Amino acid sequence: MNRALPMLAVAALLVMLVEAAPSGSILPAGALGVGFVAWSVAGYRWALGRGRVAAVGYLTVALTLGFVVFSVAGPGVGSTLLLLVVVVQAVMLLPLGWSVVVAVLVPLVHVGMPMVDALRQVISTGLACAFAFVLAALHLREQRARAELAVANGQLRELSAQAEELATMRERTRVARDIHDGLGHHLTVVGMQVQAARAVLSSDPTRADNLLIQAEDQARQALTSVRESVAALREARSAQRLSDQLRTLAAEGSSAGLSASVEVEGSERRLDSDVQEALYRAAQECLTNIHKHANAHAAVLRLAYRPNSVSLEVRDDGGGLGGNGGGFGLVGIRERVDGLGGSLTIESTPGTGVAVWVEVPG
């Protein structure tokens, strides 16, 4: 629009000169017309972005020049088009309510003509002004919509980048938890089995050999756990029932010297992979902590299926948490449980062991 207006003003000037030629007023009309076109280009560019006062000052001068050109050149298509340029510029420079005033003033240029001619010209010029006003308003609305869309697209790109960064952070946290919970558990069991094998190596070589075989198997499982965590694959484990997974964990603990048992209450059902993963990791971390810190002889894993939730209790007969708060592992359990809308409760009395309850919807 800003590029089209100067071309429209020049075209209107040429038409006006052609119309003024028969009357002999081509020279004064041409001089005034050139002055109007120069002001409509330079003055309009000056007024853009300078505020309402500058816009009103520019339009006042432009309307005055336009009325003078109209009075010298006489009523015609060219002189009327020059005034329509001012109407369009008013829409671009002023609020719509103010620019209506300019659109109303322009048809009044015909005041002073004979009544019938004046009425006809006022109506026709008024319709032309209304048409120009509507076109300019629609163009301005489109410009603003494009600007708002560009801003919205920028915000969307920024939010998309933030969402991608958040997803990356969440994935890193998940992989860190998986490595800690999975690899940490297996290495703890391996350490316990190797320690037990060394203790009986001289007195019972056969048992020591069995313990080392079990440690080797645990090492393979640790490698599998790392691969699963890095590749973010959980399907193989989630295909098992949770109770079977817990019994496998309990058997691993028993092979390392901890008597662990699994109890199931209620009717077992298939769980969402996230729910099953959270409960499995909670049991794994609890057993790892028992191996490392509890100095316990026995542990019980109690899985309870309720109508709208599933709970897991892990209890041992060790010495309690004492000064050990569970470290990153319990933090990881809490993050998983909180993410599912569940709860984590830890009860510990020195000398009577630790009980951990995890309950999640499912």
What's the CA gap between 4 and 16, in Å, rounded? 18
Mean predicted confidence (pLDDT) in 311-315: 93
Residue 337 pLDDT exceeds 60: yes
Count the alpha carbons within 13 Å of 331 in the hemisphere toward its beta carbon. Answer: 9
Q: Sheet containing 259-265: which strands, arranged edge to edge?
A: 259-265, 298-305, 309-316, 354-361, 343-348
What's the CA gap between 127 and 320, in Å, rounded? 91
Element counts in the chain: helices (H) and strands (E): 12, 5
Mean predicted confidence (pLDDT) in 54-80: 87
Going along the chain, which residue ranges are E strands? 259-265, 298-305, 309-316, 343-348, 354-361
| Greatest mean pLDDT among 131-140, 175-184, 289-298, 315-324 | 131-140
What's the CA gap between 71 and 89, in Å, rounded? 21
Task: Please state the pTM of the whole predicted model.
Answer: 0.43
**In which band, very low, low, confident or very high, does the pLDDT at 178 lie, cut at 50, 70 and 90?**
low
pLDDT value, residue 111 = 78
What's the CA gap between 17 and 30, in Å, rounded? 6
**In which band, very low, low, confident or very high, does the pLDDT at 239 lie, cut at 50, 70 and 90?**
low
pLDDT value, residue 358 = 94
Instruction: Work out the burial of residue 253: count CB atoms within 10 Å of its CB; fewer than 13 is exposed, 13-18 middle, 19 or more buried.
Output: buried
Residue 25's φ and ψ, nearest 5 degrees, are -100, 25
Mean predicted confidence (pLDDT) in 148-156: 85
Contact by Cβ (8 Å): 311, 329: no
**In which band, very low, low, confident or very high, does the pLDDT at 360 lie, cut at 50, 70 and 90?**
very high
Q: 């729910």: which residue's tokens?
A: 275
What's the CA gap between 312 and 310, in Å, rounded? 7
Q: Which stretch of 37-41, 242-246, 318-322 has the lowest confidence by average pLDDT?
A: 318-322
pLDDT value, residue 246 = 92
Contact by Cβ (8 Å): 166, 160: no
Mean predicted confidence (pLDDT) in 82-104: 88
Residue 179 pLDDT exceeds 70: no
The distance in angstroms from the start CA to the end CA of the chain is: 62
11-47: burial string, b at 16+ Cβ within 10 Å, e else:
ebbebbbebbeeeebbeebbebbeebbebbbebbeeb
Domain with CATH 3.30.565.10 in the chain: 241-362
pLDDT value, residue 8 = 81
Residue 226 pLDDT exceeds 80: no
**In which band, very low, low, confident or very high, does the pLDDT at 94 lie, cut at 50, 70 and 90?**
confident
Question: CB atoms < 10 A from the CB of 111, how many?
Answer: 9
**Between these two residues, 5 and 360, which has the higher pLDDT value?**
360
pLDDT value, residue 301 = 94
Mean predicted confidence (pLDDT) in 321-338: 70
What is the tens place of the pLDDT at every residue in 265-288?
Answer: 999 998 888 899 889 989 988 888
Q: Which stretch of 52-61, 163-172, 334-343 has the lowest confidence by average pLDDT?
A: 163-172
**Between these two residues, 132 and 238, which has the higher pLDDT value?**
132
pLDDT value, residue 361 = 92
172-177, long-range: CB < 8 A, 24+ apart: 173/335, 174/232, 175/229, 175/230, 175/232, 176/332, 177/281, 177/332, 177/335, 177/336
Mean predicted confidence (pLDDT) in 190-198: 80
Lookup: tokens for 14: 């040429």
pLDDT value, residue 235 = 46
Question: What is the chain's mean pLDDT, rounded?
Answer: 82
What's the CA gap between 301 and 260, in Å, rounded? 7
Lookup: tokens for 203: 């007195």
pLDDT value, residue 189 = 77
- Nearest residue to 184 (alpha-carbon basis) of 38, 315, 290, 59: 290
Options 3.20.20.140, 3.30.565.10, 3.40.50.1370, 3.40.50.2300; CATH of 241-362: 3.30.565.10
What's the CA gap between 283 and 293, in Å, rounded? 15
